[in-house]
Amino acid sequence: MQKQVKCPCCSHVFSVSGNSKEIKKINCPQCNTFGKVSFSIKPYFTSAIEVAQLRKEYDSLVAVNNISFSVKKGEVFAFLGPNGAGKTTTVEMIESIRKPTNGNISIFGRNVTDSFDQIKEKIGILPQEFHSFERLTIRETLEYFASLFEKQADIDEIIAAMHLSDDEDKLYKQLSGGLKQRVGVAISLVNDPDIVFLDEPTTGLDPKARREVWDVIAGLRNKGKTVFLTTHYMEEAEYLADHIAIIHKGNIIAEGTLDELINKYSKGSILKFTKCDVNLVKNALESFGYNVKKANNQNVLVNIQYKDQILEVLSLLRKNAINYDNIDIHRPNLEELFLQLTGARLREEHT
């Protein structure tokens, strides 16, 4: 068995292998502090998921670049980034679908590589491209997938919780996109997992169907489930997540709660000028030292630190005879945070 331990001297976290009831002498690999580890007591580790220096290479391509993060029990953890950023590759390594090039992954203190047979009973998975049996009803589908596990949840309770009672006798091929995604989430719950992995669960859904899936995910958190959510929708992360990690080109570029991210990386307020000559506005304000980002071909975002700067910006545009249709002043959101950190819009990156 494996146990995650934390050095009392340098706080380095590392894995130690041992047998049940064994007391093992160890040295911290970081600072060489001597200590003992007992395998007869419950590990101190309380995180649901721990990822350390995780890396995935495909020949010369680095898809995931030495990332580290942890997911607390009972939280919705949003892994936010554009398509191709490394989200699905990361989650598939955690699920043991892909083998990492380097790094360590543990779930409830167990190393995924060594203990996946025990871990798989504790996790539920909705893959990015989910398909089921066309000629099975919703109930038959859930009963089939439940039969694959030793531990099985109550199918009636899942159907009720996913709001599928009115449709449980419909064939899967007859369902709308939103209903199919809810069935996918329901399948991920048939073994009553402690952790649910949802990879892009609302991609391709209309706003109404997307909100229905959001309500289902919020309900999972209310039941004490840990949810690992990958998404490229910033509003999805804002609405659902307790903790957010932003991944871009294989690197985690920011991590924290929504408030922590906004406060740390987006100081002040955002001025948004709409239907303006983007280049004129950008060049005029940058010449006076302002941080200006092009939102699209007609809109410009300006980071403002102090209220007095609002009047200064408006005065500069007026003196240069630069027109705009409208101005909006607001607190930065994740979309604008991503723009500031990468110079690209999240929506543009996945189109």
- DSSP-assigned beta bridge partners for residue 306: none
pTM passes above 0.85: no
The answer to whether 264 and 236 are in contact (CB under 8 A) is no
Residue 349: the pLDDT is 47
Q: Which residues contact 6 (CB under 8 A, 6 or more apart)?
A: 12, 13, 44
pLDDT average, residue stretch 225-250: 95
Phi-psi category of residue 231: left, alpha or beta, with phi > 0 → left and psi -120 to 50 → alpha: beta
Question: Ramachandran region of residue 279, left (φ > 0), alpha (ψ -120 to 50) or beta?
Answer: alpha
CA 23 to chain centre: 37
pLDDT tens-digit series, residues 252-291? 999 999 989 988 887 678 888 888 888 888 888 888 888 8
Q: What is the dihedral of CA 329, 330, 335, 338, to 10 degrees?
A: 90
- Winning range, highest mean pLDDT, from 15-19, 39-43, 115-119, 138-142: 138-142
CA–CA gap between residue 188 and residue 195 (Å, rounded): 9
69-73, 119-123, 157-161: which is most confident: 69-73
**Is the pLDDT reported for residue 196 higher than 90?**
yes
d(CA 214, CA 231): 12
Q: What percent of the chain has pLDDT over 70?
A: 92
Q: What is the pLDDT of residue 117?
A: 84
Q: What is the structure's pLDDT at 2?
A: 59
| Of 97, 126, 124, nearest in space to 113 by CA | 97
DSSP state of 19: -
| Residue-level pLDDT at 347 | 61
One-letter amino acid for residue 183 of the chain: V
pLDDT at 292 over 70: yes
Residues in Cβ contact with 308 at an 8 Å cutoff, skipping those fewer than 6 apart: none
Q: Collect all residues with Cβ–Cβ distance below 8 Å to 323 and sequence separation of at least 6.
A: 276, 277
Beta strands in the chain (DSSP E): 2-6, 13-17, 23-27, 34-38, 47-58, 61-72, 76-80, 102-107, 110-111, 123-126, 195-199, 226-231, 243-248, 251-256, 269-274, 291-294, 300-304, 326-330
CATH 3.40.50.2000 fits 48-261, yes or no: no
Which of the pair, 35 or 257, is modelled with greater confidence? 257
Q: Which tops the pLDDT comparison, 20 or 141? A: 141
Q: What is the mean pLDDT of residues 112-139?
A: 89
- The average confidence (pLDDT) of the chain is 86
pLDDT the model gives residue 284:
86
Q: What is the pLDDT of residue 21?
A: 61
> What 3-state DSSP class applies to 215?
helix
Lowest-confidence pick of 30-44, 66-80, 251-265: 30-44
Of 284, 296, 293, nearest to 321 (Cα)? 284
Q: At what angle do helices 207-222 and 177-187 cross, to 10 degrees?
A: 20
What number of CA atoms fall less than 13 Å from residue 2's CA on the CB side? Answer: 19
CA distance 349 to 351: 6
Fold of 267-331: Alpha-Beta Plaits (3.30.70)
Query: Hey, where are the domains in the chain?
Result: 2-45, 48-261, 267-331
pLDDT of residue 214: 92
Token readout for 61 is 């391509």
Mean pLDDT of the region 41-54 = 77
pLDDT of residue 45: 53
> Residue length, the chain?
351
Q: What is the mean pLDDT of residues 165-188?
A: 92
> What pLDDT was estimated at residue 228?
98
Question: What pLDDT was estimated at residue 43?
Answer: 47
| pLDDT above 80 for 12 | no
